[in-house]
Structure 1
Amino acid sequence: MPRLKPFLDAQSPILTASGLLFLRVMAALLLLFIHGLPKLLNWSAELQRIEDPFGLGAPLTLGLAVFAEVACPLLLMLGVAARLACLPVLAVLLIALLVVHPDWTLEQGQFAWLLVALYGGLALTGPGAYSVAGLFCRSKVA
């Protein structure tokens, strides 16, 4: 029974830290592999088709999107500046949903809205104890 105690305790720091680690890594991998790396690896093709809703120019717009979809998920996975790393991702997602694709139904935008929920929650909670930032915190996970 002692091994099950952390899983039966609703206030378990181990479960909270493990849950935040799982959410961080999964949210980061989803964004990185589905959106970020394809943009980075196919830069020239992406320049031709990226939306530029604010008239910044395709290279800058794509650069900002790649930063939000590659660099920020990597920071989030590590738990380095995790709350701040969520903000560019949320900005890109909300611009895509509300400015670029306002005609999308909830069903068409469900992946983006799911990422908004994940990154918004992580922006509020922070990375948790199992992170690079958690290594430097004084609170210990029992």
Structure 2
Amino acid sequence: MPRSSTDWALLYLRVSGCLLLLWVHGLPKLLNFSHELTVIEDPFHLGAVPTLSLAIFAEVLCPVPIILGVLTRLACLPILCVLLVSLVFVHPQWSVAEGQFAWLLLIIFVTLLIAGPGGLSVSNGLAGARATPAWLS
């Protein structure tokens, strides 16, 4: 069965959005963990290690299933939480221009939360067979 332009668009959105998140935010936190512990904001007073660990979970681990198109909607939730915490609690003084990267990531991951992974995903079997319930994909 031929794939629609929507399937290709969602694949592009999943991969490009996740690679941006990984490259700009996730991998620098992971690779510079010790330094990041000294500079990470802790708006809920959980401690630097738990706060950084949650951010790494959202920005490094969650993009992997999204890229593959497995549990896409579920994996978007921690990313959206980190983005909202950043915009609402850590940087409430930011103008839209100052927070534009976070807003664009928010747009990308809310779109994926709404649309799901599309037809070109592991959860859709890449051959048309649905391996995961639609609400969970």
**Is TM > 0.5 for Structure 1 vs Structure 2?**
yes
The alpha-carbon deviation at position 124 of structure 1 amounts to 0.6
Partner of 2:135: none
Segments of 5+ residues of structure 2 without an aligned counterpart are 131-137
Distance 1:92 1:104 in 2: 16
Task: Indicate yes or no: 2:61 matched with 1:61.
Answer: no
User: Quick one: which amino acid aligns to residue 51 of structure 1?
Assistant: E
User: Quick one: which amino acid aligns to residue 16 of structure 1?
Assistant: T
Partner of 2:125: 135
User: Quick one: which amino acid aligns to residue 129 of structure 2?
Assistant: R
Structure 1 residue matching 2:42: 3-state secondary structure = coil
Distance 2:55 2:97 in 1: 23
Partner of 2:114: 124
- RMSD of aligned C-alpha atoms? 1.4
Partner of 2:37: 47
Distance 2:114 2:96 in 1: 24
Within a 5 Å distance, the mapping from 1:73-92 to structure 2 comes to 73-92=63-82
Partner of 2:15: 25
Q: Deviation digits for residues 93-140 of structure 1, max 9, x if unmatched? A: 00000100000011000000000000000001000111110107536x
Structure 2 residue matching 1:28: 3-state secondary structure = helix
Distance 2:28 2:88 in 1: 23
User: Quick one: which amino acid aligns to residue 27 of structure 1?
Assistant: G
Higher alpha-carbon Rg: 1
Q: Which of residues 84, 106, 109 is equivalent to 1:94?
A: 84
Structure 2 residue matching 1:104: 3-state secondary structure = coil
Partner of 1:72: 62
Distance 1:125 1:93 in 2: 19
Segments of 5+ residues of structure 1 without an aligned counterpart are 1-11
Distance 1:100 1:56 in 2: 14
Work out the number of aligned pairs and report it.
Answer: 128
Structure 2 residue matching 1:106: 3-state secondary structure = coil
Partner of 1:5: none
The alpha-carbon deviation at position 13 of structure 1 amounts to 4.8
Distance 2:35 2:59 in 1: 17
